[in-house]
Structure 1
């Protein structure tokens, strides 16, 4: 949802950066990989060691590179199929590392085993949301929309993590349980969307009805070569 409302404002920042990098010969794929490696390293290094605030800030900085690579592709004037697959794959890796790091913290330094269940739910359902869309599109179906997509998941998780690191009580608890429930709901929404898309595809075009009595039937093209 946030992708629709915030895209114009975000593009005002990322487009100039993307043009600047392209002008210096930087490839969008390089930016994608650097952003992913940085976010994964930050999530798995800082979060399990109780560095929630620092980890949230560093992960956020690297995640923002995911917006820049798209701006670079637009500035370059074209994108590649490999770049699209690489970007989607790296998104899944970065998201998985973030929630794996939070799960690690919950079961270790945070001593929050019950909260670890919420983190695991976020990890699994977040991957499912993206997988359902990709699998549906591969089958020629549609599975767009939903309550929480990638942008919402990252914002809620990183804000809750950062606030908890600053000492705000129960900030991470509220964020993860809210996100877990919303993500599971989104999985259901996308499955329903795929089902409806499949039903529409099976129905096909509506066949023409019978010609009413007394009306003139349409000409047969075979009789008028």
Structure 2
């Protein structure tokens, strides 16, 4: 059910993003430019606002610019497919943006004296990188690992909602969201490793295609 909702939500977002993507391409804007601009926007929202305690502004700015991850992919598809450098740039900028978001959250919670929340933020930072690494390593070995309940968009959404609720409802909402995110991120790592293990068993078996 969660996967069906995820696919449906992404399909809905794609219908919104496609007209914007066409307009940018007609204006001569490249997907790589959008990738870099989106990352800079996330950095401003995370470091300039979130780390300083402006949680609502930070969460909204990060969410808006994080959506460029979908926009640049749509632009690349419309313009004939992503280049090798474009794919490399997109993945690298995602890591920069994610590090900024969780680093800013950790900085803010440390300033609040919330050691439990700080620990959760650091776990999310580490495990988020591991989620991406498992996928990249699998693809480097000729397999796939594009599975899991907490991909990048979902991770940013969880921390963003936590930040908004912390500012508008109760400060405990952010640490709770981070611990939830840490749990689902670890589960996602397990899902991806299991998926790769099954593929590797087939490839490495006698008579396999390895």
Could you tell me how far 1:111 is from its partner in structure 2? 1.9
1:186 and 1:79 map into 2 onto residues whose CA distance is 26
Could you tell me how far 1:172 is from its partner in structure 2? 0.9
Could you tell me how far 1:41 is from its partner in structure 2? 2.4
Of the candidates 198, 204, 208, which is equivalent to residue 196 of structure 1? 198
2:207 and 2:143 map into 1 onto residues whose CA distance is 16
In the TM superposition, 1:4-15 aligns within 5 A as 4-15=7-18
Give unmatched runs, 5+ long, in structure 2.
Answer: none
Could you tell me how far 1:58 is from its partner in structure 2? 0.9
Match of 1:85 in 2: 88
Q: 1:137 touches 1:143 (CA, 8 Å); kept in 2?
A: yes
Of the candidates 146, 152, 155, which is equivalent to residue 153 of structure 1? 155
Number of residue-to-residue matches in the alignment? 205
1:5 and 1:97 map into 2 onto residues whose CA distance is 29
Larger Rg: 1
Match of 2:52 in 1: 49
- Check if 1:58 corresponds to 2:68: no
Match of 1:166 in 2: 168
- Check if 1:28 corresponds to 2:34: no
Could you tell me how far 1:95 is from its partner in structure 2? 1.1
1:134-169 alpha-carbon deviations (Å, 9 max, x no partner): 011101123231121112101111011112122434
Q: Cα 1:78–1:143, aligned 2, differ >3 Å: closer, same or farther?
A: closer
Give unmatched runs, 5+ long, in structure 1.
Answer: 207-225
Identify the range of structure 1 (83-92 vs 164-173) with the bigger mean alpha-carbon deviation: 164-173
Could you tell me how far 1:3 is from its partner in structure 2? 4.7
Q: 2:56 touches 2:164 (CA, 8 Å); kept in 1?
A: yes
Q: 1:3 touches 1:151 (CA, 8 Å); kept in 2?
A: no
Q: Which has the higher helix share?
A: 2
Identify the range of structure 1 (57-66 vs 165-174) with the bigger mean alpha-carbon deviation: 165-174
TM-score by length of 2: 0.92
